[in-house]
Structure 1
Amino acid sequence: MMKAPLSKELREKYGIRSAIVRKGDTVLVMRGDYRGHEGKVLSVDLSKMRITIEGINIKKADGSLRPVYIHPSKVMITKLDLTDKKRKEKFEKLEKVK
């Protein structure tokens, strides 16, 4: 499982420190060359243990763009994608418990 830390607001709201990164979550890059960039998660690659983020690309020699793979521990989740019914229920339970 690929987890990333939650922002302070989400941490206070749900009472947990980290959550599994999913496609559609909005994340902020905290470490590396792309520090400060914020965007939606476009894909989650479980075999490489990396994620791709909207707007973070690298230009190849032929001029085409390729997404940059970033480890989820180097990002912070700022907004959760709660379109999935099960995930939404899980976070609603956490909110009620707190």
Structure 2
Amino acid sequence: MCHYLFLYSIMKLNPFVTSSRRKNRKRHFNAPSHIRRKIMSSPLSKELRQKYNVRSMPIRKDDEVQVMWFVLLRGSFFIADVQHVRRINLTSLCIYIQVVRGHYKGQQIGKVVQVYRKKYVIYIERVQREKANGTTVHVGIHPSKVVITRLKLDKDRKKILERKAKSRADGKEKGKYKEETIEKMQE
């Protein structure tokens, strides 16, 4: 028994951070709102990544996103265009969305209508489904399954982008010796 504990303590990098699945799940589902905001981050598109030098951002209402993939168990959902609303059954869904291992992957671009931190989901403008009584509701999608194509920028968000880009640029230089420092070390 003590051999296993010894090996476990060697493999672990930080003894103060737990690796317990039970404890990590508890912290994830009991997380306060300000931590859920960080968890609910989405990657930026390639264009935005090159422009801002930032990989991901916490998602917010009115960001424009592109759905990478999401799961629908049964029923049908709506793809709403500006002019009209089309109802798509799951049987005819293959025409519009490429099916990959039971998940529905779509290239729909739409605005984020709501960020629901309690359920860890976001609701997107054009991703809806029909309930049994005929009303339409938005389908909840996890933020990690979408890509942000356009950011809603205000002064606070611009500051966040600048701070992240600066730290990323500093990280590239970190740990690399310059010629002057190498010459000083050799003397």
- Pick the TM interval, shorter chain: 0.7 to 0.9
Partner of 2:52: 14
Percentage identity across paired residues of the two chains: 46
Amino acid in the other structure paired with 2:134: G
Q: Say which SS state the counterpart of residue 90 (structure 1) adopts.
A: helix
Structure number, greater radius of gyration: 2
Distance 1:4 1:68 in 2: 17
Q: 1:96 to 1:20 in 2, by over 3 A?
A: closer
Partner of 1:30: 68
The alignment covers a number of residue pairs equal to: 96
Distance 2:119 2:112 in 1: 15
TM-aligned CA deviation for residue 94 of structure 1: 5.2
Amino acid in the other structure paired with 2:120: M
TM-score by length of 1: 0.88
Q: Which runs of 4+ in 1 moved over 6 A?
A: none
Q: Which ranges of structure 1 fall in alignment gaps of 5 or more residues?
A: none
- CA-based RMSD: 1.8
Q: 1:61 to 1:96 in 2, by over 3 A?
A: closer
Q: Deviations over 1:37-82 (max 9, x none)?
A: 1100000011111000001111011110011000001000000001
Give the number of the structure whose residues are more often strand, by fraction: 1
Higher relative contact order (CA 8 A, sep 6+): 1
Amino acid in the other structure paired with 1:11: R
Give the number of the structure whose residues are more often helix, by fraction: 2
